[in-house]
Amino acid sequence: MLTSEQLCKFYAGYRDETYVQQRQQFEPGYTAIFNASLGGDAGMTERRAVLAHALAVHCPNVEFASVLDHGGDRGQMLRDLKASRKAVYDVSQAAPDPGVESLSASQVHAAPWTLILSCHVLEHLISPDDYLHDLIACGDEASIFFFEIPYEPAKTTFLNQTYFQKVWLKFLIRNSKLLTKFD
């Protein structure tokens, strides 16, 4: 399991060229195009709409006293939320969006949050159980938690979900430089 220091070092410069190269060493399918699409307006608009719908259904007409986007990059998910205080905690230490406060790990636990978001974080963790216990400690019995885990359907090419596609993917995986060129 990565220590907090190692995690911060790994996510420093999150999504820059060095980061992409590091990810490609361990995940041959991680491409520059995919990396650039993360956190962009197109995808974030759709994700914010899903969040707004979930909140409208489960806690309509609520203006939150405080909202924490835990692992939320720049706090892009907070843009449309009604809240007195909007904050983001992210190990990448990315500059937050306007109106969003950036917090350190110790500041996250200073007071219970009324709404806590954890979007596209759990799938990165070696020990999600430890993370969830820590995250729950950021709230209290009245806190609302919103978790988002990405759904990434397999992309198909001219080859179908067939034997040939499996052979093609195995070939690309064995040849990571070639896979990067297909980016």
Domain boundaries, the chain: 4-148
pLDDT tens per residue across span 29-77: 888 888 877 767 778 898 999 999 999 999 888 889 999 999 998 999 9
Residue given tokens 């892009």 in the structure block: 76
Tell me how far apart the alpha carbons of residues 138 and 147 are, in angstroms, rounded to a whole number: 14
3-state secondary structure of 101: strand
Provide the token pair at 174: 């064995």
More confident residue, 10 or 178: 10
Mean pLDDT confidence for 147-157: 71
Mean pLDDT confidence for 24-28: 81
Tell me how far apart the alpha carbons of residues 14 and 6 are, in angstroms, rounded to a whole number: 13
Q: How far does CA 171 lie from the centroid of its chain?
A: 30
Mean pLDDT confidence for 72-84: 94
3-state secondary structure of 67: strand
Which range has highest mean pLDDT (30-44, 100-114, 118-132, 164-178)?
Answer: 100-114
4-148: CATH number: 3.40.50.150
Tell me how far apart the alpha carbons of residues 67 and 82 are, in angstroms, rounded to a whole number: 9
Whether the predicted model's global pTM rises above the 0.85 cut: no
